[in-house]
Amino acid sequence: MTLLVNSKQVLIHSVSFTYLNNMDNKGSDADAIYKLLKASRDAKKAAYMPYSKFPVGAALLCADGTVITGCNVENASYGLSICAERTAIVKAVSEGYRKFKAIAISSDLKNSHIVPCGACRQFLVEFGTDWDVYMTKPDLSYKMMKTGELLPLSFVPESLEEERLSNSIKG
């Protein structure tokens, strides 16, 4: 499938449109996806990345249709940096959102689709293993995978409810 963007045809890869039918009754599914992809690309402009010079933006689609954006924020102590995906989720959770339909991620990688790092993959599956992750290139072409596909055999909240050898800690 192709989508017309600024008089150019953009190839759409591996699309799952099922959730969008209920989210955007005013436009087409392709329009709703395009808006999410564009929001992630626009969020990239706010990135604070003085060390890596690698801007990343994310746009998170909440269950009610709200879109919350995030960007990467680096720190001189590299381990304290936060990725765009986690920024968007933290913003959403701090506003009371807990259910998500999709996230789009954008970077300046010309020849590859941006993919979430391992920490972000774990952060995503915290909120479910069956929602969409759109990984883009600057031309807004993308690959889509489910959160659970990105982190198979993931440790999820339900893992904490599994039966254990002992429920008490002995000192």
- Residues involved in catalysis: 85
What residues have CB less than 8 Å from 85, skipping those under 6 apart?
58, 60, 70, 103, 105, 116, 120, 123, 124
Task: Give the integer Cα–Cα distance in Å for 57 and 45.
Answer: 8
DSSP label at 75? -
Task: Give the integer Cα–Cα distance in Å for 108 and 113.
Answer: 9
Which token pair is 89? 């989720």
* Token pair 């969020």: residue: 43
Specify which residues 3 forms β-bridges with.
10
CB atoms within 10 A of CB 120: 25
User: What is the SS3 string spanning 113-143?
Assistant: CCCCCHHHHHHHHCCCCCCEEEEECCCCCEE
